Structure 1
Amino acid sequence: MKLLMCLHCHDPFNLDLEEKTCKCGSTKEKYVNQLHAIYSGEQAVLLGFTNSSLIKAIQNQPKDGFGELLTAFVIPEECSTFVNVDTDT
């Protein structure tokens, strides 16, 4: 699962086939197909969750206390499937 987060307004949001923006409007994104996405905004940070750990965390959701940990990571700035159109030449 991929997310985009705007460091200006701290709004994390998921990708979609229709363009989406953060709350302040400085970060935008959209999928161009099922694998590739484009985004813009100097304040954009790319985030990812491993799907298997997300599914496991959901399956092991407790009724109370602390939730199940999952694996999240920051996607590199240079990623072949996630292109910043502000810097793409």
Structure 2
Amino acid sequence: MKLLMCLNCNDVFSLDMYEKGCSCGRSKGKYINQQLAEYTGEFALPLGFTNSSLIQAIKHQPNEGMGKEFTAFVIPKNCETFFKRF
């Protein structure tokens, strides 16, 4: 799963097939197809979740205490599937 974080307003949001943006308007992004996505903005930071670990965390959600952890990561600046549009 691809997400964007705006380092200006600290919003984190998921992408869709239509362009979405943060609350300050300085970071925007969208899916181009099922795999490719693009983003814009000097404060935009691309993030990702490992889908399989997220699904396992959801399946094993505890009733109380600490939530189940899953893998999240900062997507590299040079990425074939999530690229910055200038």
5+ residue gaps in structure 2?
none
> Residues 35-86 of structure 1: CA distance to partner in whole angstroms, max 9, x if unpaired?
1111100111111111111001001111110011111111001111111112
Identical columns (%)? 59
Partner of 1:39: 39
Q: What SS class does the counterpart of residue 18 from structure 1 fall into?
A: coil
CA RMSD of aligned residues (A): 0.7
TM-score (norm 2): 0.96
Please list, as runs of the form range in 1=range in 2, the aligned pairs for 1:6-17 lying within 5 A after superposition.
6-17=6-17
Shift of 1:27: 0.4
Q: Give every structure 1 segment of 4 or more consecutive aligned residues whose post-TM-superposition deviation is greater than 4 Å.
A: none
Partner of 1:48: 48
Please list, as runs of the form range in 1=range in 2, the aligned pairs for 1:68-83 lying within 5 A after superposition.
68-83=68-83
Q: Residue type of the partner of 1:47?
A: L
Measure the CA separation in 2 of the matches of 1:50 and 1:31.
Answer: 17
Measure the CA separation in 2 of the matches of 1:59 and 1:67.
Answer: 11
5+ residue gaps in structure 1?
none
TM-score (norm 1): 0.93
> Residues 5-53 of structure 1: CA distance to partner in whole angstroms, max 9, x if unpaired?
0000000000100100001000010111111111100111111111111
Q: Residue type of the partner of 1:5?
A: M
